[in-house]
Amino acid sequence: MSTLITLPARSEIADKYKWNDTSVFPDQAAWQVEYQALRADLDQLDVYRGRLHENASTLADALDVAQALQKRAWIAIVYAGMQHSVDTLDQNAAALNGQANSLMGQIGAAFAFLEPEILAIGQATLATWLEQEPRLAGARQYIDNLFRKQKHIRSAEVEQLLGLLADPFTGAGQSYGMLTSADMRFQPATASDGTPRQVSQGTIYTLMDSPDRATRQTAWENYRDEYLRFKNTLAAQLETSIKQNVFTMRARRFENTLTMALDEQNLPPRIFHNLIAAFKKNLPTWQRYWRLRKKALGVASLHTYDIWTPLSSQSRAIPYQEAVDWICAGLEPMGKDYVDVVRRACLQERWVDVMPNQGKREGAFSSGAPGTHPFIVMSYDDNIGALSTLAHELGHSMHSYLTWQNQPMMYSNYGMFAAEVASNFHQALVRAHMLREITDRAFRLNLLEEALQNYHRYFFIMPTLARLELIAHERVERGEALTADTLNELCADLFAEGYGDDLQIDRARDGVTWATFGHLYVDYYVFQYATGISAANALSQRILNGAPHAVEDYLGFLRAGSSKYPLDALRGAGVDMSQPEPVDTAFQVLAEYVNQLEELVG
Catalytic residues: 393
Closest CA to 13 of 266, 380, 362, 300: 380
For the chain, first and last CA: distance in Å? 40
Q: Computed from CA positions of residues 415, 416, 419, 421, in that sequence, does the dihedral angle turn out positive or negative? A: negative
d(CA 544, CA 433): 10
- Say how far residue 2 (Cα) sits from the centre of its chain: 38
Neighbours of 280 (CB within 10 A): 12
Dihedral of the alpha carbons of 570, 573, 578, 583, in degrees to the nearest 10: -100
d(CA 276, CA 580): 10
Q: At how many degrees (to 10) do helices 123-132 and 114-121 cross?
A: 90
Backbone angles phi, psi at 546, to 5 degrees: 75, 30
d(CA 309, CA 312): 9
Edge to edge, the sheet with strand 365-367 lists 352-353, 375-377, 365-367
- What residues does 197 pair with on adjacent strands? 5, 189
Write the CB contacts of 344 (distance below 8 Å, at least 6 apart in sequence).
Answer: none
d(CA 185, CA 199): 8
Pairing between β-strand 375-377 and β-strand 365-367 as defined by DSSP bridges: antiparallel
Q: How far is CA 440 from CA 278, 319, 377, 443, 499, in A?
A: 34, 18, 31, 5, 31
